[in-house]
A and B are shown apart, each in its own frame.
Chain A
Amino acid sequence: DTGVSQNPRHKITKRGQNVTFRCDPISEHNRLYWYRQTLGQGPEFLTYFQNEAQLEKSRLLSDRFSAERPKGSFSTLEIQRTEQGDSAMYLCASSLELAGGEQYFGPGTRLTVT
C-alpha cells in the first residue's frame, strides 16, 4: 500500500455546480477523516468515519456537504451548489483505531470555485 490517495488533485468548477472528491485510505485503517485547509491556515476538521459509520460532523459541514464511506473502504465528499467560499484544499487522512493515533494524510484535492 502506497499511502492515502485522493482524486482528483485539482478541481475547478463554476459556482452552483456540484463536485465530488474521493479518498482511498490505507487499506488496514478503519478510521477516515476529512479536513478543509485554506491558505495560511491549519486543517479544519470536517467529519470522520469509523468503518462505514460517520461518527462526528463539524458545524463547518453545512447541509450542502455530504460524506459517505459505504463499504468502510474509500470515502467520497460531495459539495452541492458550490460557493466561492468553498475554495480550499480538502484533505483526507486515515488511521488505525487507536486513541490519539497518528493520522496519515493524502495529498489533498484543491478546489477552486469561480
Chain B
Amino acid sequence: AQTVTQSQPEMSVQEAETVTLSCTYDTSENNYYLFWYKQPPSRQMILVIRQEAYKQQNATENRFSVNFQKAAKSFSLKISDSQLGDTAMYFCASTSKTSYDKVIFGPGTSLSVIP
C-alpha cells in the first residue's frame, strides 16, 4: 500500500525560531501532488502548502517553504519565524498512485511553539 511517513511524532520550537518537519513518501508515478496540511487543536484542517512534482522549484507560502527532493522522495516543511498560532498537528500528504483525487495522509507531527 502507498504510504506517507513522518518520522517525528512530536516537535517543539521556540517562538521566532525556525523548525523543519520531515516527510517521505512512496510512489512510482512521475507526476503527483504533495501537500502539508495543518490541524490546530479542535479546529479544522487547512492547507498550508502544495507542490506539484513536475515543478522543480520549491513551493513557498509566506513563512512556510518546502524542500522537495524528488529522487529521494522527500518533502520537508520549514516554518520560519515560528508563531504561537503555528502550534498544531501537521500532516504530510500525497496524491495516490491511482488518482489525483485521492490523497494519502501521513500520521502527523505534533508541533508546539513555546513562548
Give the distance to chain B from A55, nearest Cβ to Cβ, in Å: 7
Residue of A nearest to B50 (CB): A102
Number of A interface residues, CB 8 Å? Answer: 25
Q: Which of B35, B93, B102, B108 contacts A48 (CB 8 A)?
A: B102
Contact between chains at A41 and B50 (CB < 8 Å) = no
Contact between chains at A99 and B106 (CB < 8 Å) = no
Report the stretch among B14-22, B41-49, B64-72 that lies at the interface.
B41-49
Is B91 in the interface zone, CB < 8 Å from A? yes
Against B, the Cβ 8 Å flags (1 = close, 0 = not) of A46-59 are: 00101000011000
Q: Which residues of B contact A107 (CB under 8 A)?
A: 43-44
Give the distance to chain B from A38, nearest Cβ to Cβ, in Å: 10
- Rounded to whole angstroms, the CA-CA distance of A50 and B52 in the bound complex is 22
Chain B positions near chain A (C-beta within 8 angstroms): 4, 32-33, 35, 37, 43-47, 50, 52, 91, 93, 95-96, 98-108
Chain A positions near chain B (C-beta within 8 angstroms): 3-4, 31, 33, 35, 40-45, 48, 50, 55-56, 91, 93, 99-100, 102-103, 105-108
- 13 A-B residue contacts at CB 8 Å? A33-B103, A41-B107, A42-B106, A43-B45, A43-B105, A45-B96, A91-B45, A93-B45, A102-B35, A103-B103, A105-B45, A105-B46, A108-B44
